[in-house]
Each structure stands twice: as structure tokens, then as C-alpha cells.
Chains A and B, each alone.
Chain A
Amino acid sequence: DAKTTQPPSMDCAEGRAANLPCNHSTISGNEYVYWYRQIHSQGPQYIIHGLKNNETNEMASLIITEDRKSSTLILPHATLRDTAVYYCIVRVLTNTGNQFYFGTGTSLTVIP
């Protein structure tokens, strides 16, 4: 039961910023938004996560809207190695643990 909606595919020119949108309109107050990427059927790689505030790390920036119904992952200077499927995920906390709901992801192609 995916809780996120992402465009199926996007292209980005090498060296430009890649902005990947995600809708999570049913997100609850204590549910985090996570981003992972998967390259060629390898295991998904963690990128970044956030709850309310915008976040930045060495890989990317995460912009979350004030109402938390959507977010954008920004790769500031896309390279060819950033070509991958990017998953926006809502982490649901239960009484006993947590569960990650993966959507269908966005296939990002970085073009030389």
C-alpha cells in the first residue's frame, strides 16, 4: 500500500540540478520521508530523510513543504553515476516497530 506518488521517469542534463518530486498527501505527523536510490538491481542506497525541516547532506537536499504533503529531492550537480531509480518512502511507526512503504519510484536518466 504505497503512500507516495512519483513521476515514473525524468531526464536531467549532466552538471545540472535534478529535482525529483514526491507527493505524500496522506502522511501523518510522526511519519518520516526517506529517499533511497537503486542502481541496476543492487540493494537500495540511503540518500536522506526528514520529518518537517529541510535537510541537506553530502549527497542531496530534501525540501519538505510546510503542510508536509509533498517533498522534493535535489541532486545539486547530477553526474552520469546518478542514473538510477529514486524511491520516495514514508516510514510508518507502529507500536512495535516501523515499516517502509516503497512506491514505484522515479527512473532518473542523467544525459551527457
Chain B
Amino acid sequence: KAGVTQTPRYLIKTRGQQVTLSCSPISGHRSVSWYQQTPGQGLQFLFEYFSETQRNKGNFPGRFSGRQFSNSRSEMNVSTLELGDSALYLCASSSRRQGRDTQYFGPGTRLTVL
């Protein structure tokens, strides 16, 4: 089975721009979660989507948003980029079946904001 894929792998943007990151979950997985990882804050939960609905949201400003499509693929969007948004953005998918909620992570998208 193919793993979680994320595109693009690397991205450079400037302050004020917006960015869209994409995540394709493992086939059959319907839950997708997004995380931000920075050296100072570590891995922080952004949001979780299941069946096209946002189920949980972390403590991030409204500039961070996401969506999930009917094929379970997910995108996250960051508007009005700030320098502090430079981070590794990780996507994880899980099956969300009883006892099988293990999250499997993709390789991440490295976003640099200049």
C-alpha cells in the first residue's frame, strides 16, 4: 500500500502571500490530520478532517484553514503568511475504525517564508 503523500515537498513564499498544501492519505483512510512542526514549538496539532468535515481544531489563528474532498484527499491553506509560519507541515491519515486509529505520517512540506 502506498503511504501518505504530500505535495509540494518544499516551498518558498514571501510575507503576505498565501499557500496551499496538499495531502493524499493512505488508500481507505478517511481521517486526515495536519500538524505544524517548528524548532521552538515542536509538533502542534492544526486540525483533523473526517468524511469532509472538520472534527477537531488546534489553537491556531483563522489564517490556517483546511478542507477534505470526497476522495479523502485534503488541502490546508495559510493566508497572509508571516515569517513565523516557516515550518514543516505534516499530514497524517488514519482509518478511524475501532482500535485502528493509528496515524501514519507523510514526509511533510517544508515551507519557508521570506
> Is A87 a contact of B43 with CB atoms below 8 Å?
yes
A102 to B38, CA, bound (A): 12
Kindly supply a per-residue 1/0 record for chain A positions 79-101, scoring 1 wherever the CB is within 8 Å of any chain B CB and 0 otherwise.
00000000100010010111111
When A49-B102, A87-B43, A98-B56 are in contact, do A43 and B48 touch as well, CB less than 8 Å?
Answer: no
> Is A97 a contact of B48 with CB atoms below 8 Å?
yes
When A44-B43, A87-B43 are in contact, do A100 and B55 touch as well, CB less than 8 Å?
Answer: no
Q: Which of chain A's residues has its CB closest to B101's CB?
A: A98
B residues contacting A by CB (< 8 A) are 4, 31, 33, 35, 42-45, 48, 50, 55-56, 58, 88, 90, 92, 96, 101-108, 110
**Contacts A43-B106, A43-B108, A98-B56 supplied; 14 other A-B pairs, CB < 8 Å:** A36-B105, A43-B107, A44-B105, A46-B103, A46-B104, A46-B105, A87-B43, A97-B56, A98-B48, A98-B101, A99-B58, A100-B45, A101-B45, A104-B42
